[in-house]
Amino acid sequence: MIGYALTFALACFGLALLLNIYRVVRAPTKGDRILALDTMVINAIALLALFGILEGTTMYFEASMIIAMTGFISTVSYTRFLLRGDIIE
Amino acid sequence: MLVEILIAACLVISGIFGLVGSFGLIKLPDPMMRLHAPTKATTLGVGGALIASMLYFYFVVGQFSFHELMITLFLFLTAPITGHFVAKTHLHLTCKPGDLPPTATDRPWASYESDAERARIEAAAEGETAG
**pLDDT tens column, A54-79:** 988 888 888 989 999 999 999 999 99
State the residue range of the domain holding B120. 95-131
In this prediction, residue B65 carries a pLDDT of 80
A38: closest CA of chain B, how far (Å): 8
B77: closest CA of chain A, how far (Å): 10
A89: closest CA of chain B, how far (Å): 15
Is A36:B25 a contact under the CB 8 Å cutoff? yes
Which segments of chain B have a pLDDT < 70? 130-131
Check B5 against A6: CB less than 8 A apart.
no
In this prediction, residue A3 carries a pLDDT of 87
Check A16 against B94: CB less than 8 A apart.
no
Q: Are residues B85 and B128 in the same domain?
A: no
**Dist. CA B51–CA B26, nearest whole Å:** 27
Q: Please list every residue in chain B whose beta carbon sits closer than 8 Å to the beta carbon of residue A36.
A: 25
Closest by CA to B15, choosing from A64, A43, A51, A2, is A43
In this prediction, residue B99 carries a pLDDT of 77
In this prediction, residue B131 carries a pLDDT of 58
Q: What is the 3-state secondary structure (H, E, C) of chain A?
A: CHHHHHHHHHHHHHHHHHHHHHHHHCCCCHHHHHHHHHHHHHHHHHHHHHHHHHHCCCCHHHHHHHHHHHHHHHHHHHHHHHHHCCCCC
Q: Are residues B62 and B102 in the same domain?
A: no
- Predicted confidence (pLDDT) per residue in A11-55, tens digit: 999 999 999 999 999 888 888 899 999 999 999 999 999 998 898
Check A76 against B85: CB less than 8 A apart.
yes
Output phi, psi for B103, to 5 deg: -95, -5
Is A24:A33 a contact under the CB 8 Å cutoff? yes
Q: Are residues B111 and B80 in the same domain?
A: no
Check B65 against A61: CB less than 8 A apart.
yes
In this prediction, residue B91 carries a pLDDT of 86
Q: Are residues B76 and B112 in the same domain?
A: no
Q: Are residues B88 and B105 in the same domain?
A: no
Closest by CA to B67, choosing from A13, A11, A14, A63, is A63
Q: Are residues B83 and B125 in the same domain?
A: no
Q: Are residues B103 and B84 in the same domain?
A: no
Task: Provide the 3-class DSSP secondary structure of residue B59.
Answer: helix
Q: Are residues B89 and B102 in the same domain?
A: no
For chain B, what is the domain count? 2
In this prediction, residue A89 carries a pLDDT of 66
Q: Are residues B38 and B11 in the same domain?
A: yes
Q: Are residues B85 and B111 in the same domain?
A: no
**Dist. CA B131–CA B125, nearest whole Å:** 10
Cβ within 8 Å of residue B113, ≥6 positions away: B107
Q: Are residues B74 and B51 in the same domain?
A: yes
